[in-house]
Amino acid sequence: MGFFQEFKEFAVKGNVIDLAVGVVIGGAFGKIVTSLVEDIITPAILTPTLEKLQLNNLAELVIPGTAIKYGMFLSASISFLIVAFALFVMIKGINKLKREEAPAEEAPAGPTQEELLAEIRDLLKNK
């Protein structure tokens, strides 16, 4: 089998295509979440604080006399929490769909309680 034939078989396998689609969708989803956090949620949460401190930008939240920008850390922390929550909700939904798709397994048909008691009775009679 030639090199290009092997590559073609590898490249068009279902798993590789699924992975590629997942990466593209994940990248797009990441941009949406980043915009949601940076453009909507973070300003909504931190705007009152910024106004009280008379600041216009998170980058201006620094520890006086240092270059430590805790405002940017706050923003990154909020972003992480929202991305983690979004992924949790998404994975939970996918797992729920997978459970619904899987056929329900029937419990193995074992002997009933009466059958077991009858078997015990017969064993005791034979002693």
| Number of domains observed in the structure of the chain | 1
Residue 72: give its domain's CATH number: 1.10.1200.120
Tens of pLDDT, residue by residue over 37-81, are 778 877 777 778 777 877 776 666 777 777 777 777 877 787 788
Q: Is residue 111 part of a domain?
A: no
pLDDT at 37: 75
Q: Is residue 125 part of a domain?
A: no
Q: Is residue 107 part of a domain?
A: no
Residue-number span of the structural domain to which 62 is assigned:
3-101
pLDDT at 47: 76
Query: CA of 84: how far to CAs of 80, 87, 89, in Å?
Result: 6, 5, 9
Residues composing the chain:
127
| Integer Cα distance of 40 and 47 in angstroms | 10
Tens of pLDDT, residue by residue over 89-101, are 878 887 888 777 6
Model's pTM, two decimal places?
0.44
Tens of pLDDT, residue by residue over 73-120, are 877 787 788 778 877 887 888 788 877 766 666 767 778 888 888 988
